[in-house]
Amino acid sequence: MQTEFSFIPGGVTAPVGFTASGIHCGIRKNQSKRDLALIFADRMCSAAAIYTTNLVKGAPIAVTRRNIENGRARAVICNSGNANTCNADGQQKAWRMCEIAAEKLGINPEDVIVASTGVIGQVLPIEPIEQNAGTLAGSLSADGSRFAAEAIMTTDTRVKENAAEAQIGGKKFRIGAIAKGSGMIHPNMATMLCFVTTDAAISADMLKKALARAAAVSFNMISVDGDTSTNDMVSVLASGAAGNDEICAEGEDFEIFCQALTAVCKRTAMQMARDGEGATKLVIGSVAGAKDEENAKIIAKSVICSTLLKAAMFGSDANWGRVLCAIGYSGADCDINAVDVAFCSKAGRVEVCKNGAGIQFSEKTAKEVLSEEEITIEITLHEGEGRAEAYGCDLTYDYVKINGDYRT
């Protein structure tokens, strides 16, 4: 089945009953940068989250895990400028952030999702959060999604905010998201924070299943630099304000919800890949005809993760041999002699490889195709129905510059 949905404005405040805000509280030195965000639901929500696979995990993850173990939450508080990771007092500070938010919102601290992003290994100053929490809560509004999205940015250069609308059982529901992610991004729960809201009625167990399914083809299919961070989290709050019958099992309603959630997550993931540190291009690895979906995913990931290919994309160089090389070491079960490759963009499409061997093509046309801001590498095998997409970016001089002085 194919769900009909439309993208709409509004981000995390597009769903009914959600408000958000974002302010500068003083964690970041630059006073023009917002550094503290808050999202609040007008009622108790089903809650779910997935986290980084890094063994080193930020303190907020441990606190959030405990808080939403019962599948319930009403608010999200997040700071930027400091990751609150590898600190002796990290969990104490993360819990204090929950208490601060709860005090201002009139809820229990156990019903708060907490997150932090920024430099690792520096003690998080809690005083700026305590002193400005009243302003943060007081500025909550149904138009505050963008301010919250700005407040969670670190090296991001673009705000990442999306929302979609669909119907379940004749009831309109919405899903909204804000995210941050620019560097230290790699598949298997990429380096990122993403906060999702929805007014659909869905149980916590089914919400977690839907989130895992969506992340598998979106956030786990992006890569900027091969580094998996310590604070990665995707969380989702579902308020039920849409009035649909609660989704408590798999079926048509669950599939509709999953498709809408996946669409929002994919669009957000692509925005993160496009905004990779120093990046000038979004690179999409599109695989068709693989033996199965798993092999297609392996190939797509390997191609967009290739440092050599990423450098070639920066130089608009149609070096298709690097595509085959990445497929060859990917570990996928495939016949390398049955691979076709083409480069595509809004400037056109150029085929560069057939059956694992090079074919004649216009270097001039290829240069034009690869000079656009969004490039798709089409990889076609002839072995089955497996399909997958992965999202990455080019590798530029600026990536080294940004990370050479990240702390200073």
Mean pLDDT, residues 188-216: 90
Q: Is residue 1 part of a domain?
A: no
Count how many domains the chain has.
2
Q: How far apart are CA 5 and CA 259, in angstroms?
A: 9
- Kindly give, in sequence order, each residue whose CB lies less than 8 Å from that of residue 315, ignoring residues fewer than 6 positions away: none
Domain span holding position 31: 6-272
Contact 269, 221 (CB under 8 A): yes
Q: What angle, rounded to 10 degrees, do the helices at 293-305 and 321-328 form?
A: 130
Indicate whether 17 pLDDT > 90: yes
The SS3 of residue 19 is strand
Bigger pLDDT: 224 vs 94: 94
- Point out the domain boundary residue: 250, 272, 294: 272
3-state DSSP assignment of residue 186: coil
pLDDT of 254 strictly over 90:
yes
Q: Do 267 and 357 share a domain, yes or no? A: no
The reply to whether 221 falls in a domain is: yes
Amino acid at 376: T
Residue at 254 is within a domain: yes
- Residues 348 and 255 both lie in one domain: no
Tell me the pLDDT tens digit for each residue of 271-317: 988 887 788 999 999 999 999 999 999 999 999 999 999 999 999 99
Residue with tokens 């700026």: 128
**pLDDT given for residue 406 in this prediction:** 60
358 within some domain: yes
Last residue of a domain, one of 241, 272, 303: 272
- Pick the range with the lowest mean pLDDT from 30-34, 55-59, 225-229, 398-402: 225-229
Confidence of residue 191 (pLDDT cuts 50, 70, 90): low
- What percentage of residues in the chain have a pLDDT greater than 90? 84
pLDDT in tens, 97-150: 999 999 999 999 999 999 999 888 999 999 999 999 999 999 999 999 999 999
Q: Is residue 277 part of a domain?
A: no
Query: Are 256 and 306 part of one and the same domain?
Result: no
Q: Write the CATH number for 317.
A: 3.10.20.340
Residue 39 shares a structural domain with residue 155: yes
Per-residue confidence band for 223, with pLDDT thresholds at 50, 70 and 90? confident
Mean pLDDT of the chain: 93
What mean pLDDT is predicted for residues 338-352? Answer: 98
> Which of 191, 230, 262, 396 is flagged as catalytic?
191
Q: Is residue 217 part of a domain?
A: yes
Give yes or no: residues 265 and 307 share one domain. Answer: no
The C-alpha atoms of residue 47 and residue 53 are separated, in whole angstroms, by 20
Task: Identify the burial level of 30 via C-beta atoms within 10 angstroms of its C-beta, where 0-12 means exposed, 13-18 middle and 19 or more buried.
Answer: exposed
pLDDT range class, residue 182, cuts 50, 70, 90: low
Residues 318 and 397 in one domain: yes
53 is an active site residue: no
> What pLDDT band is residue 405 in, cutting at 50, 70 and 90?
confident
210 and 291 assigned to the same domain? no
* 79 and 126 share one domain: yes
Orientation of helix 127-138 relative to helix 90-105, angle to 10°: 30
Q: Are residues 377 and 322 in the same domain?
A: yes
pLDDT (tens digit per residue) in 317-329: 999 999 999 999 9
Average pLDDT over residues 358-382: 98
CATH number of 85's domain: 3.60.70.12
Same domain, 220 and 294: no
Residue 84 lies in a domain: yes
pLDDT higher than threshold 50 for residue 187: no
| Helix H or strand E encompassing 45 | strand 36-51
Whether the full predicted model's pTM is greater than 0.75, yes or no, is yes
The residue among 215, 240, 272 that closes a domain is 272
Do residues 152 and 38 share a domain? yes
294 shares a domain with 397 = yes
